[in-house]
Chains A and B, each alone.
Chain A
C-alpha cells in the first residue's frame, strides 16, 4: 500500500472530521433546546386562551 506523494497528514484528516462532527453535534443540541423552548411557550400560550 503506497503512502502517496503526500506523506502523513492524519492531523488534517482528524481536524476535518472533528470539526464536522463538532458542528453537527452543537447544531443538533441547539435545535433540540430551541425546539423544546418554543414548544413549551406555545403550550403556555394555548392554555392561556
Chain B
C-alpha cells in the first residue's frame, strides 16, 4: 500500500524554514519595534506569540476533525496519518498556549491561572486530545486505532464550543476580564507576521509528522511476507 508521499520530499522543510523566517521577523518587530502598550506595558508583547499560537492551535485541531470525518467516510489511511499528526501538533500548541497564558496571567492578574474561558477551554482540549494520543498508544490494531481515534476526535471537537460557553457562563459571575484586543495597526504587524510564521511552521510539522505516521502504517498494514519452503523448513 503506497502511503508515503514522495512527490515533494523537501516540502515540510521548506514550510518550516519559511515559518521560522516569519517568526524571527515578527518576533523582532514584536520585541524591539512595537511600543509598550498603554496599560499592559511590556507584558503585552507576549500576545504577539500567544494569539498566533491560539489561531493555529484551533486550526490544527479543526484539521484533525476534518481528517477524522474523512477517514470514517473513505477509510483511506492517509487520513489516519494526518489525524495523528494534527492531534500531536494541536496538543503541542495547546500546551504552549497554557504556558504562555499562565506566564501572561502572573504579572497581569497576580495569579498563575485566572480561569479565562478561552484558556480554560484550551486546557480541557489539551487533556482531551492527550487522552486520544494515549488511546492511540494503547491500541495495537491499526484499523481499530484509526477508527476509534477518529470517533474520539469527532466527539472531543464537537465539545469545544460547549466547553467554551459553559466555562464562560461559569466564570462570568466572578470576574469581568478580557484579553486585550489590540486595535492599533502598530500592533498588527508582529501579530500577523507571527501568525503566518506559526502557520507555516505548523504546516511543516504536520506534513513531516504525517509522513512518519504513514511510514509506520505502511509497515503495520502490509501482509507478513510469505515464507519460502526453505525458511519454513528451518522453522519446523
Contact = CB atoms under 8 A, between A and B. Distances in A.
B107 A41 contact: no
Contact of A23 (B95, B218, B219): B95
Contact of A6 (B16, B41, B201, B205): B41
Nearest to A34: B212
A41 B211 CA distance: 13
Contacts of A45: 219
B82 interface: no
B43 A12 contact: yes
A6 B99 contact: no
Interface in B8-59: 16, 27, 31, 35-46, 49-50, 53
Contacts of A4: 36-44
The size bracket of the interface on B is 35 or more
Contacts of B201: 24
Contacts of B208: 31-32, 35
A3 B38 CA distance: 7
Interface of B: 4, 16, 27, 31, 35-46, 49-50, 53, 92, 95-96, 99-100, 103-104, 106-108, 201, 205, 208-209, 211-212, 215-216, 218-219, 225
Given A13-B46, A19-B99, 20 more contacts: A3-B36, A4-B39, A4-B40, A4-B41, A6-B43, A6-B107, A9-B42, A10-B42, A12-B107, A16-B50, A17-B46, A17-B49, A20-B49, A20-B53, A20-B100, A31-B208, A35-B208, A35-B212, A42-B219, A49-B225
